[in-house]
Structures are given as C-alpha cells and as structure tokens.
Structure 1
Amino acid sequence: MELQCFPVTERPPELVPGRPQRAWMDRFAARHPYRCLPLAMANSSGWELLSPVGFTAEWNGGTHQQDITLRPDNPHPDFHKIAQTHFSHGVLTFHAGYLFRTPPGWSMWVMGPPNHVKDGIQPLAGVVETDWLPFPFTMNWIFTRPGKVRFEKGEPFCFITLLQDHTLHEIQPVIRRMDSDPELRHQYDVWEKHRSEFNQKIFRNDPEATKEAWQRYYFKGEFPEEVDAPAPEGHVNKRRLKAPKFG
C-alpha cells in the first residue's frame, strides 16, 4: 500500500512520521503521561507537516481577513503560500503543499497534531476522500480569543492519518448488559478488582506498589493473572511509521 504525496509547490513543507513526544508530557513528574499508551499511540499514528519558518499570528477579534496578521521570524519565499487568512472570522489557514492520493476505500483524516496543546487557537479536523480527489485541501485553525499565538520552525501545523470510512454507515452500535457476555464480565471484574487493590496500596504508600508505580496490563497487552485467556493478538505499544521516499 502507498500513500502517494504529489508536491504542488516548489518547496513543500517537510513531511515526517508522527512523533510520540509532547512538551507538556515531558514536564510531568516522571513523564507520567507516557504511561498512557493510548496517548502515545495517538501521537504517532500518522504523519506531521512541519512549518518551514517560525511565525507569530495575531487576531484582533474582527471578522475580516485583515483582522489576522502574520509575522514570520525571518524572510521566507513561500511563507504566504503556506500560512494565510483565507476564511476570515479568526480562522488561520495552512496549505499542505501536497496533493495526497490514498488507496481505494481509504480517506484521509486531517487534524492538528494529537495532544499538541496550543493556548488561544484550536485545530479544526476534516475527513477528505483522497482516493479520488484531484486537488489539495487546507488545514485550518480557529482562534479561541483575540491575541497572539506562536508556531515555531519545525512545529507541526497539520497531522494526517488514514481511515477506511466508506463502510462506517454499516456499523450498528448496540448497547448490551455486560452479563450477556460471561467471559467479558469475568475479565472486567478481575481487572476492576486488581485496579482497586492497587490504588488502595498506592494510597497507603505500600513500598511494592510505589516501586511498581503503575499497572502495565494494557501496555504489555496482558490480562491479569487470574484471567485464563491468551494474550491479545496484534497488540502494539510502539508505532514506527515509514518516512516518505522519492518514487
């Protein structure tokens, strides 16, 4: 399978595999958020488009295009081709610089970098049918209040990942009592028991629990020892996506 990336500018933004690191996660004591496997996996389950230059964007609260001003740190020949104020109303627009083509049946989820927090501005997400679309899309952020925001050089302004969304309408959500699945009920009850006991030990500063720090069942893809079931197939706790190549 290929994700085809056709540059539509002479110098398109750098495209790199998603990186698991986040500054706010690094600042936590013992880098605690990295123990949350879903967080780290989301951060790296796609590709990032990086800003080629650092710049400041400022919105005065108005509804017109000129109410947002963009100031690059250094002169850059393509800056105003990448970052613009096309949609007005406090919306900052980025051009991806590529026309993407995905395999049949696969669309592209376009969003801000997962768990990448920016004060004063919010990324908008979109799903694009890139298996047929013959023109590129834009990535948009909306100011949440008047003021200034910074995008540093090399900071991701867009995150792309793929999904097979054409058959989503065929999926029927069903709400069932957990007792209707005795094995799942047992697995859940065992997990809940272990979780409660471990948290109580942590609260009491139990030396063994304190040293262990956190339970690793999900991270390792394991069930508690009281569950007689094989390890889940296909469990992944580190994502290594391919970097783009020239073809």
Structure 2
Amino acid sequence: MEALTSTPEQTLTLYRVSEDAFPIQPASPAREWMDSTPGRFAYRCLPMTIANSSGWEIICPFAFEATWDGGAGKESLTIRFLDEVADTEQVSSHFGSGVLTFRIGYVFKTASGWATWVKGLPNEVIDGIQPLEGLIETDWLPFTFTMNWKFTRPGTIRFERGAAVAFFMIVPYGGDGPRPVIREISENPEWESSFRQWAEQRRDFNAALAESDPAALKKGWQKTYFHGQTIEGEKAIDHHVSRRRLQGVVRSCGSDAFEQTERGSIYPHWAPGGYSEVGMRSSDYKIRLRKVRFEGG
C-alpha cells in the first residue's frame, strides 16, 4: 500500500458504476504506421510522440465485429461478439446513422474548472471508421458519458481484445481563451533573428543531405527541438519534455491508501504483464498490434 498525494488541479477520480467497466492505462507513444516508416523516422517528430502519450487509453477487454449497411436506423448497424461478454450493452448501435457506441462504465470527477477531453488515439489512422470526440464538464456532471465512432462507409470493423476505444486527457475550460493576434515577425527582432538562423540551418542541412554529405548522412536529422536547444545549442527551458509517461491508474483501498498497478490495470486479466493474452507486454510500448481494422465494404 502507498499513500499518494496530488494537487487539486491534478485530481482525476474515476467512479466505477459497472463491474464490467473497461480497463484504463496510460497512453503509449507507439503507432503501428510509425513503426513501419523507414528507420522509424516518424518518431523523430517529437510533438507527435508527446501528443500520443499525453493522456490515458480506455481499453476494450473483448473482441467483436461491427457491420454497417449504410442505413440511418439503429438496426442498420449490427454487432457480433467474438469473446464471451457479460454485458452486451457495452457496445451498441444507440444513435443510428452508422454510429458505434461504447459504454465504458465510469463517472469521471475532475477539480473545479477542469474538463475531460475524450477522443480517439492521437495520430492513429483507421480505415472505414472515425472516432468522434467531445469535451465534458466533468467537474460538476454526475453522469456517465459514451465514446462514439462513426463509420465512414458501409462495411465491417473488427475490434480486437486490447484495442484502445478511447483516449482522454483533462484540460482547463471556461472563458473564451486567449485572443489570437497576427503580427509581422519583424515586430519582434529577437524572434526574427532566431527564425532566420533556423531557416538557414535547415536549408543548408537539407541541401547537404540531398548531396549525400557524409556528415549530414551520419547525423540523419537535426535534433535542436528534440533536445530542447536554441539555435546556438543552449538549453532553451528547464521544463522541455522529450519523453512522457503519465501516472498509472490506482485503486482506492480506503480514504488515504491506494494500490498502485503497472500501467493502471484494475482487473485481474489486465494485471501487470496481462497483455500476454494478446501478444503484448504492459511494460513494452514498442510492441503494438493492429487492433482495429476494416474488413470490407
């Protein structure tokens, strides 16, 4: 047992309202299509990998297929479960029009002024179906919410056991936010100078690559942003992030005590190492299987 503390703005409580609530775990930076790029070069884009892991995944603990015939009625979308499921209403055609609905089994509670943004996995590409997203005021709403996916054309989608059916993060809300202002970069001489230097360095480096310059080929790519460095090679800020792994989910065992679980599992079959059922290890972010695929139409 371990007593965990957090500041109010970091508080996120998931009240389970169903014994069959979906497992939740910190999001992985890995994507199958990124793994497939030559030399896995897609992972050089730090903003993309940080976005991939800046939230938590809601995991489907069973496999199923959903088929949409293109109609608007609820009956136009049918579901065939491939595993034994205690509650078949966890996945349904609730709205019609080719919308697939997941009931995840939690009421979320955030601190005042903080909402939950629910969506699909960032930078995940899935043929035939699109995850929808919403911003939910979970600081006051004592209700559950659903995660919904919209078919983009008739056909069959297969969700494997272990597929991430949703991704969520908590964000501040309220007010209209900052006012965007467009200015000429010449109004900020310091930023203009840095930009010009960066543009020149990028142009020269790309030209060297095109000419197969040995030094450029050995370096492979410029790493200024990745390392959080200025054009001059100095440390830009103290809080630069090049790798992110959010806190795992914990299970309350009393008013002040919590049980920590690896990657946030709170189900016996999703315990540390529990990904072995689907060929994955909970501690290995690099192993990613195709979990959702389009099968026709």
Range class of TM-score, shorter chain: over 0.9
**Aligned residue for 2:41?**
32
**Is the partner of 1:119 in helix, strand or coil?**
coil
Q: Quick check: 1:179 aligned with 2:191?
A: no
CA distance in 2, matches of 1:152, 1:116: 15
The structure-2 alpha-carbon separation of the partners of 1:170 and 1:240, relative to structure 1 and needing over 3 Å to count, comes to: closer
Task: Tell me what 2:223 maps to.
Answer: 216
Q: CA deviation at 1:170?
A: 4.1
Does the CA-based 8 Å contact 2:228-2:235 persist in structure 1? no
Identity %: 43
Q: Secondary structure at the match of 1:216?
A: coil
Query: Which region of structure 1 is more displaced relative to structure 2, 6-15 or 69-78?
Result: 69-78
Query: For the residues of structure 1 that align with 2:177 and 2:124, how far apart are their CA atoms?
Result: 32
1:98-117 aligned within 5 A: 98-117=106-125
In structure 2, which of residues 76, 79, 83 is the aligned counterpart of residue 70 of structure 1? 79
Over aligned residues, Cα RMSD in angstroms? 1.2
The alpha carbon displacement at 1:81 in A equals 2.5
Matches within 5 A, 1:70-149: 70-78=79-87, 80-149=88-157
- Counterpart in 2 of 1:246? 251
Task: Give the distance between the partners of 2:177 and 2:21, measured in 1 at CA.
Answer: 38
State the number of aligned residues: 243
Distance across 1 between alignment mates of 2:57 and 2:217: 37
Q: CA deviation at 1:234?
A: 1.3
Equivalent positions of 1:151-162 (< 5 A) are 151-162=159-170
TM-score using structure 1 length: 0.95
Where 2:140 maps in the other structure, the secondary structure is: coil
Aligned to 2:200: 193
SS of 1:186 mapped into structure 2: helix
- Structure 2 equivalent of residue 45 of structure 1: 54
Which blocks of at least 5 consecutive residues in structure 2 are unaligned?
1-9, 253-297
Amino acid across the alignment from 2:20: R
Alpha-carbon distance between aligned partners in 1 of 2:89 and 2:18, rounded to the nearest angstrom: 9
Counterpart CA distance in 1 for 2:55 and 2:152 is 26
**Do residues 202 (structure 1) and 206 (structure 2) align?**
no
Partner of 2:13: 4
Which of residues 229, 233, 240 in structure 2 aligns to 1:235?
240
Cα distance in structure 2, aligned partners of 1:27 and 1:193: 31
What do residues 81-134 of structure 1 show as CA deviations (whole Å, max 9, x unaligned)?
Answer: 221110000100111211100111111111001112110000111000000001
Deviations 1:129-188 (A, max 9, x none): 000001011111100000111211111000010111213x14111000001111110111
**What letter corresponds to residue 137 of structure 1 in structure 2?**
F
Which residue in the other structure is 1:150 paired with?
158
Q: Give the Cα separation in 1 of the matches to 2:68 and 2:209.
A: 47
Q: Calculate the TM-score normalised by the size of structure 2.
A: 0.80
Moved runs in structure 1, 4+ residues, more than 3 A?
Answer: none
